[in-house]
Structure 1
Amino acid sequence: MLRRFPFVINRGIRMGKKSKAPKLPETCLEVPSVASLTGVDVTPIYDTHTHLHSTFDAYRKEYPEGRFSTIPEFVKGYYARIAAQNDQLPAIHVPVKSLVDVWCEAPVLFNEWRELADSALTPELRAEKWGGIEYHFVMGVHPHEARNYTDEVEGQILEAMKHERNVGWGEIGLDYHYDNSPRDIQRNILIRQLEHAIKLGKPLTIHTREADDDIWDILSTQVPKEWKIHIHCFTDSPSLAKKLLDHFPNLYIGITGVITYATNENTSAVVRMLATSPPVDPSRSPLRILLETDAPYMVPSNLTKHQQQTFGLKSNARMPLCHAGMIPWTAEFVAKEATQGVVDQVVKQVENGAEAGDKKVWTAAEVMKIARGNARHVYGI
């Protein structure tokens, strides 16, 4: 049985006597691309943080008679078939090229991760099992599960680090929003995992929520300044993001569909800040982001609205789950926020009596291309 973290899947929730949100048909998962990608050269999708086991579990619970009975079948069926299904929105095929699957349970789901990783060991296997999609994984113990961290769990993670498809240690960190594990245990287990990851030279996938001071203190004292770090699904303060970005030149901010949510202003503020910042290296973009889904969670709200219209459903209808094919919709929103950051900067320049700079317009295609290069830099994928 799959262990599920207490995150909220972006679906309708029945409370009191309110009616249940209408169910979208399985074909809603065949996601069209965004209009701005039509007729342009588009970088394939690189999802740097997904939970395939949880995603497939959500799929089977929503569609018990669904078309796909295994994770690789689901990946091939939806990630390699992303194209327009209607005439309302012209779109092009944007294939998924690479996935970073995240295993962060305690106890470790040993048989499950091994089966998927072994099925992607050779190009021939990846072509047969995964439709040519590159499967990678990271492993660690999530802060929610820190109370269950044991020597046995640690030994199993260390064994997983030897696998050819492993590209990092994570998702690890601090979560003071839910406090599912005591905070002192979260801190101790984070430090313990950091020590191992650094000894092994592994990139880090970091989870942080409402723990700004402690995550800064631990990372800045325990992790070498040049280390490769992915701050996953960032929603905390822009000031924390700036402090981390300034200190760690190889640190990147993970952007999920949560950037599209009206309740979250922090992630957009970070993107606007990055779009107008000088690059730490002239050969690299100042937009130090990684695109990710955190699937099955964080369906981009702009996609939800589009699918509601496509299937003629009311505004309370929700996508049943997120998957890697939805990343272009996140990239579209990132481009909008990055452009707004440039506009805001120009307005300030004019207000201060300075000459207005260039009004750069960011595009989803450009965002995807930059994020792909950043994924290569951090994870080598």
Structure 2
Amino acid sequence: MGKNNKKKLQVPHESHLLLPAHPSCSGSEQIVDTHTHLVSTFSSYQSKYREGRYGSIFDFVKGIYTQSRHKVEAIVDVWCEAPVQKVWKELADSALTAEGRRDNWGGIEYWFVMGMSLHEAKLYTDDVEKDILDAMTHPRCVGWGEIGLDYHYDNSPREIQQDVLRRQLRHAVRLGKPLTIHTREAEGDTERILKEEVPKDYRIHIHCFTDSPEFAQRLLDHFPNLYIGITGVITYSTNLNTSAVIRHLSSTPPLRILLETDAPFMIPANLYSSLPALKGKLPLCHTAMIPWTAEFVAGVVGEGWDTEKVMKEANENAKKMYGV
């Protein structure tokens, strides 16, 4: 078939984003998403549904997250752009009071972390750093990140990535802010810099882990309060490392993981076993998809584990890591 004759992939009606209950969940354990990008998720929604029913981030969250059959309890929103997006304060201020969280967020606990993305490290300036430091004083800020090293894309020179990582780590440690770390194909430098700059007992979230199990184990052994972030990428056949990490963790409890989406990216592939008619069509990932990631983790761990037990363990870890 010629390329001009191929059928365009049809985006399903936006009502399909409102997911049904996960088949193995009773709903007793609510969703905590420890890493999501709300502005990007809402922008992705708007690009796919130009005449969609949700006109603001608040409407989207209340419409999709609070109405899903499996309720969302808390989200950690990630800001890592340069320059810092000024809208962060509007969202954070809207969650300062119980009334604000009820009216603006449908009762969901909104928290955030902020840092300078490794991809944009070459844009890190004193002004950017000042904006991040200002954000660290906000009552809804629970960490510094995501920051780190990425040698897969190399969007910024590696030396600059390392310098900017060290600079941010020192500020975060000085302020006592938990760390959200991105690392990809940079095992040696990430491990070396973390061990040189960060106290052993510090709280660290290695976000969306896809590197080697041996690297994960070295970090877990050195940092007793370090957690491995699990996204929908664990469900992809191209990624075997993350499952190998889970199997090793399950042999020496507790299960030191955090559940996250990195929305709008990485829809869990196993979601389509529940929704086969939508396979390959859902246009974005969002927080209410967490139970499908948890289901896959439970299958990797094996006997004695189910979706809700994984969510319970991860939610307890989120309290330890971020206090959410």
1:67 aligns with 2:56: no
Partner of 2:295: 332
Partner of 1:349: none
Alignment match of 2:17 (pick from 29, 33, 38): 29
Q: Counterparts in 2 of 1:1-381, with a 5 A limit?
A: 18-38=6-26, 42-83=28-69, 94-110=70-86, 112-277=87-252, 279=253, 286-309=254-277, 317-339=280-302, 360-381=303-324
Distance 1:16 1:115 in 2: 45
1:120-151 deviations in Å (ceiling 9; x for gaps): 11001110110010000000001001000000
On the 8 A contact 1:55/1:296 being kept in 2, the answer is yes
Question: Please, what TM-score do these two structures have when normalized by structure 2?
Answer: 0.97
Cα distance, 1:223–1:361 mapped onto 2, change above 3 Å? same
On the 8 A contact 2:23/2:274 being kept in 1, the answer is no
Flag structure 1 segments of 5+ consecutive residues without an equivalent: 1-14, 84-93, 280-285, 340-359
On the 8 A contact 1:258/1:264 being kept in 2, the answer is yes
1:226-256 deviations in Å (ceiling 9; x for gaps): 0000000000100100000010000000000
Question: How far off is 1:189 after superposition?
Answer: 0.1
Question: How far off is 1:18 after superposition?
Answer: 4.9
Cα distance, 1:18–1:224 mapped onto 2, change above 3 Å? farther
Question: How far off is 1:303 after superposition?
Answer: 1.0
Partner AA of 1:67 in structure 2: R
Flag structure 2 segments of 5+ consecutive residues without an equivalent: none
On the 8 A contact 1:172/1:205 being kept in 2, the answer is yes
| Count of residues in Structure 1 that have an aligned counterpart in Structure 2 | 322
On the 8 A contact 2:146/2:181 being kept in 1, the answer is yes
Partner AA of 2:323 in structure 1: G
Question: How far off is 1:23 after superposition?
Answer: 1.6
Partner AA of 1:325 in structure 2: A
**Range 297-306 or range 370-379, more displaced:** 297-306
1:52-111 deviations in Å (ceiling 9; x for gaps): 00000000000011110000110010101112xxxxxxxxxx21010000000011102x
Identity, % of aligned positions = 60
Distance 2:63 2:71 in 1: 11
Distance 1:52 1:249 in 2: 30
Larger radius of gyration: 1
Distance 1:318 1:183 in 2: 36
Question: How far off is 1:305 after superposition?
Answer: 4.3
SS of 1:197's equivalent?
helix
Distance 1:168 1:18 in 2: 46
SS of 2:219's equivalent?
helix
Partner AA of 1:23 in structure 2: V
Q: Which segments of structure 1 move beyond 4 Å, counting only runs of 4 or more?
A: 15-18
Q: CA RMSD in A?
A: 1.3
Partner AA of 2:314 in structure 1: A
Distance 2:29 2:221 in 1: 28
Question: Please, what TM-score do these two structures have when normalized by structure 1?
Answer: 0.82
Distance 1:134 1:211 in 2: 33
Partner AA of 1:295 in structure 2: A
1:295-351 deviations in Å (ceiling 9; x for gaps): 000100011343332x5xxx5x33100111000010000000011xxxxxxxxxxxx
Question: How far off is 1:179 after superposition?
Answer: 0.4
Partner AA of 1:104 in structure 2: C
SS of 1:262's equivalent?
coil
On the 8 A contact 1:304/1:318 being kept in 2, the answer is no
Partner AA of 1:101 in structure 2: D
SS of 1:269's equivalent?
helix
Partner AA of 1:294 in structure 2: D
